[in-house]
Amino acid sequence: MDYPHLEVNNLTFQRSGTKILDIEKLSINKGEFFVIIGPNGAGKSTLLRLLALLEKPSSGKLIINREVIDNSSNRLAVRRRMAMVFQDSLLFASSVFENVAYGLKARRYSKNQIGKRVRDVLVKLSISHLADRKASELSGGEAQRVSLARALVLNPEILLLDEPLASLDPPTREVFRTDLIRLVKEEKLTAVFVTQYRTEAQILADRVAVLIDGKILQVGTPEEIFNYPEKEEVARFVGCEILVPGIIEVNNEGLAIVKVKDNEIEAVTPVREGEEVIVCIRPEEITLGIDSKSEERTSARNKFLSKITQIRHNGILTKVDLDCGFPLVAVVTKKSAEELGLVKDKEVTASFKATAVHVIRRG
Amino acid sequence: MNLIIEGVKQAFLLLLEGDSELIQITLLSIKVSGSAVLISMSIGIPLGLLIALSDFPGRRLAVALINTGMGFPPVVVGLAVAMFLWRSGPLGFLNILYTPVAMVAAQVIIAFPIIAGLTLAAIQQLDPRLSLQALALGASRFQVLLTLIREARLATLAAIMAGFGGVISEVGAVMMVGGNIKGQTRVLTTATVMEVRMGHFAMAIALSIILMSLVFAVNYLLTTIQQKGETPWITHIWK
């Protein structure tokens, strides 16, 4: 199949006169695990509800398998080719079996077919023992498994997932995530997963779309999105804490010198001389040294004498805010921070490679 | 005290003998109030759903009217129905005043706001995302509505019980529009009032026992359906 499974063209959605979504183009391929990330209020859930045909767009086209879905379409028939799992399990006040059987009953499957399919999916999700349990008696993780079973039992072409892991505790989330990937791949489903958590996108996605303020700002593989954000807003959302404006002074076959305030940073970029840019250096790419020997040991092309302006402990990691004429943030383990004796106002050398510098065109 | 004991004794004798008038009055009560509740359910539940799930100008007024309807004095309902069905009234041509049909009409007006009002409140208590979830699992709109009623079944059945209780025990309206005609429109409540007026306490007590038993039987049946599979969730309070 060389056409997208799910396609959105010039889609807008307004609520009370406010434009919530404005998406020029979005294509999702068959069998793809597609993750939409964005901050709270970006319009992610609204987009998913539009894709699930639970809302009607203000304008634009939704195309599924080359079929344009409009007002004349049999929306119920199209909806029955998909299934959606929400952030909260939203189980009905009945048994687990009845919950999982719900969509099959709506489609008027025979009792035998329902029994077989429900039992099969409960086995796949390792929740057969819960079949007769009342939904209200389940733990959060169990309830969300039932919610996923309720969608998977329908054998949908497209599985839509609206932050289904958000309300789970970390260990449960991890197990659930592993099972989710396995089942989606086993069943060869097209999955659209919405989340505000970057880690989930990195783990789950074949491709990622970044949705901010109702607009898709970038679509790409997790590596492209997280290492090479194309826009300042994307860079900020994917974890580049420090974004500094600069100008390309020289570009010699891809190795450029970027003027940032009074400093020069070497960067690998195709951006041409004279262009205004934003320089983005991820905290994990920066190495800190406290003596001249450590400076010599590193092969990094960028080395800056810096002053520590703040130390922020965050679990086993420590973030170190630096001033080297422009702001930088480095991240080290708490143990390293202690060994290096990192304290406020101490002078250190911050080093990073030219390949670690990501350059974004401004505007 | 003797009067009461004697009355109770005679009442049981009447019940055991299977007094034909008693049976006829009981059956008519069941028929009239049963029909009224069924009609009220078919109006009240969809109306409650519709108002709970829609937004329209005047919605708040509609809710207030239904809530007011829940407290309608039966006598006022009886008066209104009687005036409409009076020979010279707007619906006089139907010629149904002093018939069981008029009694059903009056009881519907009493019961349907109770059922609609309580259904509306029950549906509004549900998580609004449940309907989205049902749609997202491929339910049709009608199936979603049935799902919501099922989700609110505890409160919806309570609404039906309240509606039935409201009409089976009501006397003012059925007296006004039915006329308590022997063999035609005499029901348990109107008959009880009449027997007390005549000093026939044994018959009045027998009628009351039947009325109470009937109310209990219907409520027990509905409660059994309502509580099926339900376990009390506040047991830990008593531990």
| pLDDT category of residue B5 using cuts at 50, 70 and 90 | confident
Distance in Å, alpha carbon of A104 to nearest chain B alpha carbon: 9
Choosing among 3.40.1160.10, 3.60.70.12, 2.40.50.100, 3.40.1390.30, the CATH entry for A243-361 is 2.40.50.100
Confidence of residue B12 (pLDDT cuts 50, 70, 90): confident
- Pairing of β A287-289 and β A255-260: unpaired
Q: Which residues between 148 and 207 in chain B have a beta carbon less than 8 angstroms from any beta carbon of chain A?
A: 150-151
Q: What is the pLDDT of residues B45-83, one digit of tens each?
A: 999 999 999 999 999 999 999 999 998 899 999 999 999
Average confidence score pLDDT of chain A: 92
Between helix B129-136 and helix B141-151 the angle, nearest 10°, is 130
Q: How close B129 comes to chain A (CA, Å)?
A: 7
Q: Which residues of chain A make contact with B148, given a CB cutoff of 8 A?
A: none
Picking from B127, B130, B135, the nearest residue to A54 by CB comes out as: B135
Query: In chain A, which residues have their Cβ closer than 8 Å to the Cβ of B139?
Result: 102-103, 106
- In angstroms, the Cα distances linking A22 to A30, A209, A216, A218, B115 are 24, 14, 8, 14, 44
* A residues 92-111 closer than 8 Å to B (CB): 92-93, 102-103, 106-107
Q: Is the pLDDT of residue B190 over 90?
A: yes
Distance CA A98, CA A138 (A): 14
**So what's the pLDDT on residue A52?**
95
- According to CATH, the superfamily of the domain at B2-226 is MetI-like (1.10.3720.10)
pLDDT higher than threshold 70 for residue B152? yes
List chain B residues with CB under 8 Å of A79: 135-136, 138
The string of pLDDT tens digits covering residues A180-223 is 999 999 999 999 999 999 999 999 999 999 999 999 999 999 99
Nearest 5°: phi and psi at A204? -90, -35
Task: Read off the pLDDT of residues A122-131 as tens digits, 9 standing for 90 and up.
Answer: 999 999 999 9
Q: Which CATH number fits domain A6-236: 3.40.50.300, 1.10.10.10, 3.40.50.10600, 3.20.20.70?
A: 3.40.50.300
**CB–CB of A79 and B129 under 8 A?**
no
Order of all β-strands in the sheet with A255-260 = A263-268, A255-260, A243-252, A276-281, A357-361
Which of B132, B137, B229 lies at the smallest CB-CB distance from A103? B137
Structure tokens at B122: 């029950």
Angle at B158 between CA B152 and CA B161, to 5 degrees: 140
* Minimum Cα–Cα distance from A88: chain B residue: B129
- Provide, as residue numbers in chain A, all residues whose Cβ is less than 8 Å from the Cβ of B235: none
Task: Give the gap in angstroms from C-alpha B148 to the nearest C-alpha of chain A.
Answer: 9
Instruction: Provide the edge-to-edge strand list for the sheet that holds A287-289.
Output: A287-289, A347-352, A302-314, A317-323, A327-333
| Rg (chain B; Cα; Å) | 21
pLDDT tens digit sequence for A242-265: 899 999 999 999 999 999 988 999
B140 and A106 in contact by Cβ < 8 A?
yes
Residue type, B171: V
Cα–Cα distance, B188 to B211 (Å, whole number): 6
B130 and A90: CB-CB below 8 Å?
A: yes
Domain ranges of chain B: 2-226
CA distances from A17 to A13, A141, A304 (A): 10, 39, 50
Domain with CATH 3.40.50.300 in chain A: 6-236
Question: Is A50 in the B-facing interface, judged by CB distances under 8 Å?
Answer: no
Confidence of residue A97 (pLDDT cuts 50, 70, 90): very high
Q: In the predicted model, is pLDDT for residue B11 greater than 80?
A: no
Which candidate from B129, B143, B233 shows the least CB-CB separation from A86? Answer: B129
* Tokens coding A41: 């209020």
Tokens representing A357? Answer: 């510098």
β-pair partners for A192: A34, A160
Q: Closest Cα of chain A to B233: distance in Å?
A: 10
pLDDT in tens, A281-305: 988 889 998 875 555 556 678 999 9
pLDDT tens track for B199-209: 988 888 889 99
Angstroms from A156 CA to nearest CA on chain B:
10
pLDDT digits (tens, 9 = 90+) for B117-145: 999 999 999 999 999 999 999 999 999 99
Block residue for tokens 């009032």: B193
pLDDT digits (tens, 9 = 90+) for A53-70: 999 999 999 999 999 998
Chain B residues whose CB is inside 8 A of the A134 CB are 229, 231
SS (H, E, C) chain B: CHHHHHHHHHHHHHHHHCCHHHHHHHHHHHHHHHHHHHHHHHHHHHHHHHHHHCCCCCHHHHHHHHHHHHCCCHHHHHHHHHHHHCCCCCCHHHCCCCCHHHHHHHHHHHHHHHHHHHHHHHHHHCCCHHHHHHHHCCCCHHHHHHHHHHHCHHHHHHHHHHHHHHHHCCCHHHHHHHCCCCCCCCCHHHHHHHHHHCCCHHHHHHHHHHHHHHHHHHHHHHHHHHHCCCCCCCHHHHC
Domain(s) of CATH 2.40.50.100: residues in chain A: 243-361
Q: Are B162 and B112 in contact (CB under 8 A)?
A: no
Mutate to test the interface with A, among B127, B130, B133 (most CBs of A within 10 A): B133
Token couple for A327: 């702001």
CB A11 within 8 A of CB A21: yes
Tell me the nearest-neighbour CA distance from A264 into chain B, angstroms.
54
